[in-house]
């Protein structure tokens, strides 16, 4: 027994030494994002931006003298792969994880990061993400409930829609957003004529849209992702549905316009400001660097929100003069107005980002966005 204990102690001390030696080398930052699959261009955006930010931080001497090393794991946008990624990144010894893009993947990985004490920041907007009480999780975007309040206000006071239909898929994000919008609209006295669910990626939405047509909605709110939203918009036009199309924040992607084709014109999208509309100098500088390095714009605002999460983590470690993740989390839970690329960053004690800056855009004939309401 004693020998066993001694062995254990020596192993422990050995691993502690090994740990500190390692930690002095580099600060490992994990990226968990859908590099392949339906949401590939968003995932690649997050990966590209994290690497660029790491480069910029390293050029200034790193974090507390340590260079950042980025390790990417492709979760393919599926919960199963996300759980595997989480274990993999934890085993590789990352201190913080940026991602994932979808709420489903972020949620599937959360518990693993929490148990390992690894900080995680995701743009996932599903309200459930911050309801588990994990001190390791920080949302870098704004929750569905904030978007839902905005949507309800826009629908009822600005557009005065009488008959509202809501579509979503089964993912945590889309279903959460649709439920939140339904609740917010009902609370504000709006009339919901239909709430339907589609299977993401099933492509043929004409049967369900035909059914919606018979309910004569003024507006169809699509809470899913752009890969389905673009097709829904195109098939609505093909079926002669005159209702407005309003897409939730995950429709904000260049592929939406390509999928919808000519039908994209006139569609509305609700999201926080798009990258090129950000007024801050930090944003302008980062976008310029991104364009120089990758020769394109980031796919959407999600890329930048995730980078802001990473910046907040680094800021916390630098202010604490300590790489300890628990201390960083304690600092972040009371963080107020840290200047970010996407506006000032403040976190609530549950890891939610405080504030909301939603806008309604209308897609123009050339595919550009016009701000309609904010």
Partner 1 sequence: MDIFLQQLANGLTIGSMFALIALGYTMVYGVMKLINFAHGDLVAASAFVGLFIFTNLFGSGTSIFIAIAVFLLTAVVIAICGVFLERVAYRPLRTAPRLSAVVSALGASMVIQNGIMLLWGPQLKIFPDLIPQVYWDLGGVVISLIQVLIMAFSLILMIALYIFIEKTKMGTAIRASSIDQDAARLMGINVNNIIVTIFVIGTSLGAVGGLFIGLYYKGITFNMGWQYGLNAFIAAIIGGIGNIPGAMLGGMLLGLFNAFIAGYVSSTWADAFTFTLLIVILIFRPTGILGERVAEKV
Which residue, among 347, 286, 367, has the nearest Cα to 57 in the 3D structure?
286
* Residue 40 engages partner 1 in binding (rule: CB under 8 A): yes
- Choose the stretch contacting partner 1; rule: CB under 8 A; options: 50-58, 80-88, 92-100, 210-218: 210-218
* Residue 81 engages partner 1 in binding (rule: CB under 8 A): no
* Residue 238 engages partner 1 in binding (rule: CB under 8 A): yes
**How far apart are CB 41 and partner 1 at their closest, in Å?**
6
Residue number, 54 or 241, with CB nearest to partner 1: 241
* Residue 366 engages partner 1 in binding (rule: CB under 8 A): no
Q: Are 130 and 352 in contact (CB under 8 A)?
A: yes
What span, in angstroms and rounded, lies between the C-alpha atoms of 62 and 60? 6
Q: Are 106 and 140 in contact (CB under 8 A)?
A: no
Angle at 89 between CA 84 and CA 91, to 5 degrees: 95
- Choose the stretch contacting partner 1; rule: CB under 8 A; options: 118-126, 205-213, 272-280, 301-309: 205-213
Angle at 40 between CA 37 and CA 42, to 5 degrees: 145
Question: Rounded to 5 degrees, what are φ and ψ at 187?
Answer: -60, -30
* Residue 255 engages partner 1 in binding (rule: CB under 8 A): yes
Residue number, 38 or 303, with CB nearest to partner 1: 38
Select from 10, 24, 61, 261 the one that contacts partner 1 (CB under 8 A): 261
Select from 56, 58, 128, 206 the one that contacts partner 1 (CB under 8 A): 206
* Two tokens, residue 238: 């093909």
Select from 133, 189, 240, 279 the one that contacts partner 1 (CB under 8 A): 240
- Choose the stretch contacting partner 1; rule: CB under 8 A; options: 64-72, 182-190, 236-244, 288-296: 236-244
Report the greatest alpha carbon distance in the chain. Answer: 80
Burial of 133 (0-12, 13-18, 19+ CB in 10 A): exposed
Select from 139, 213, 233, 311 the one that contacts partner 1 (CB under 8 A): 213
* Residue 211 engages partner 1 in binding (rule: CB under 8 A): yes
Coil, helix or strand at residue 363: strand
Q: Are 127 and 161 in contact (CB under 8 A)?
A: no
* Residue 247 engages partner 1 in binding (rule: CB under 8 A): no
Is the link from the previous residue into 100 a cis peptide, with omega within 30 of 0?
yes
Burial of 56 (0-12, 13-18, 19+ CB in 10 A): middle
* Residue 242 engages partner 1 in binding (rule: CB under 8 A): no
* Residue 165 engages partner 1 in binding (rule: CB under 8 A): no
Residue number, 166 or 278, with CB nearest to partner 1: 166
Q: For partner 1, how many residues bind (rule: CB under 8 A)?
A: 36
**How far apart are CB 51 and partner 1 at their closest, in Å?**
19
What span, in angstroms and rounded, lies between the C-alpha atoms of 21 and 59? 22
Taking each helix axis from N to C end, the angle separating 281-294 and 301-320, rounded to the nearest 10 degrees, works out to 110
Residues that bind partner 1 (CB under 8 A): 35-38, 40-41, 170, 196-199, 201-208, 210-211, 213-214, 227, 230-231, 234, 237-240, 255, 258-259, 261-262
């Amino acid at each position: 027994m004693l020998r066993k204990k001694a062995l254990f102690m020596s192993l422990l001390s050995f691993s502690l030494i090994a740990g500190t030696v390692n930690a002095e080398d580099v600060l490992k930052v994990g990226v968990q994002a859908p590099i392949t699959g339906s949401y590939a261009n968003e995932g690649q955006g997050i990966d590209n931006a994290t690497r660029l930010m790491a480069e910029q931080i390293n050029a200034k001497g790193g974090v507390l003298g340590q260079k950042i090393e980025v390790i990417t794991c492709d979760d393919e946008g599926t919960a199963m792969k996300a759980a595997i990624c989480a274990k993999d990144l934890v085993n590789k010894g990352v201190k913080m994880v940026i991602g994932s893009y979808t709420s489903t993947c972020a949620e599937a990985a959360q518990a693993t990061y929490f148990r390992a004490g690894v900080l995680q920041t995701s743009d996932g907007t599903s309200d459930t993400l911050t309801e588990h009480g994990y001190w390791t999780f920080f949302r870098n975007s704004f929750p569905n409930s904030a978007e839902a309040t905005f949507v309800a206000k826009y629908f009822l006071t600005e557009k005065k829609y009488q008959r509202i239909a809501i579509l979503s898929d089964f993912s945590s994000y889309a279903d959460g957003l649709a439920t939140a919008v339904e609740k917010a609209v009902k609370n504000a006295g709006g009339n919901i004529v239909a709430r339907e669910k589609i299977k993401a990626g099933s492509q043929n939405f004409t049967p369900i849209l035909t059914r919606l047509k018979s309910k004569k909605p003024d507006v169809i709110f699509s809470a899913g992702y752009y890969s389905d939203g673009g097709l829904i918009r195109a098939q609505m036009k093909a079926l002669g549905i005159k209702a407005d199309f309003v897409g939730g924040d995950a429709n904000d992607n260049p592929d939406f316009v390509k999928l919808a084709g000519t039908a994209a014109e006139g569609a509305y999208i609700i999201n926080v400001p798009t990258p090129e509309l950000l007024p801050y100098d930090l944003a302008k500088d980062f976008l310029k660097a991104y364009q120089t390095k990758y020769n394109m714009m980031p796919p959407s605002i999600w890329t930048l929100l995730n980078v802001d999460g990473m910046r907040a983590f680094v800021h916390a470690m630098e202010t604490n003069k300590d790489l300890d993740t628990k201390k960083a989390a304690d600092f972040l839970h009371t963080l107020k107005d840290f200047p970010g690329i996407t506006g000032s960053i403040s976190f609530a004690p549950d890891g939610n980002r405080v504030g909301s800056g939603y806008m309604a855009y209308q897609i123009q004939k050339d595919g550009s966005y016009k701000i309609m309401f904010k």
